[in-house]
Amino acid sequence: MILSGKEILKNIESKDIIIEPFDKSRVNPNSYNLTLSDELLVYENDLLDMKIPNETRLIKIPEEGLVLEPNKLYLGRTNEFTKTEKFVPMLEGRSSTGRLGLFIHVTAGFGDIGFAGYWTLEIFCVQPIKIYPNTQICQIYYHDIHGEYDLYKSGKYQNNTGIQPSLMYKDFE
């Protein structure tokens, strides 16, 4: 089941869910709004290779905004660090974001129980759109889990501090 906003609050108070920084005004009926940092990564090459580290370039999002181009992948991240060892975290775009044709995750909205870090956003737009730093761009929600489980401990993305490009090449090593 999905946790209600009131359950999210209870679990933040008990430290079973960590969202830092936390702002109570961003709690929704069954989710919490996360914000966009002021940086993006873009891949340098048009052809990406799964077996190698692909070069990226950092872009700052100025306060006056940045126009994103359609058919280009931008990697962003949340300002918020999240962690839980009790629930399965999930990430979705906000309906207001989607109605502007802005996708905040191409495929990776599913988190693993035990994940601790900032969420890397796979940002893609249908038409040109101007974005701003610190915008409430997506929402995190939580599922409970039944049965025995292991916590996520992968070294690839755990406890990250910045935007994470694909580390899929490590799967080939």
DSSP β-bridge partners for residue 68:
129
From CA 158, how far away is CA 161, in angstroms rounded?
9
**22, 27, 75, 90, 120 from 30: Cα distances, Å:** 16, 8, 26, 12, 21
Note the residue count of the chain: 173
Question: Catalytic annotation on 39?
Answer: no
d(CA 131, CA 39): 11
Write down the catalytic residue from 13, 122, 148, 173.
122
Q: What tokens does 105 get?
A: 């995750």
Catalytic residues, by residue number, are: 122
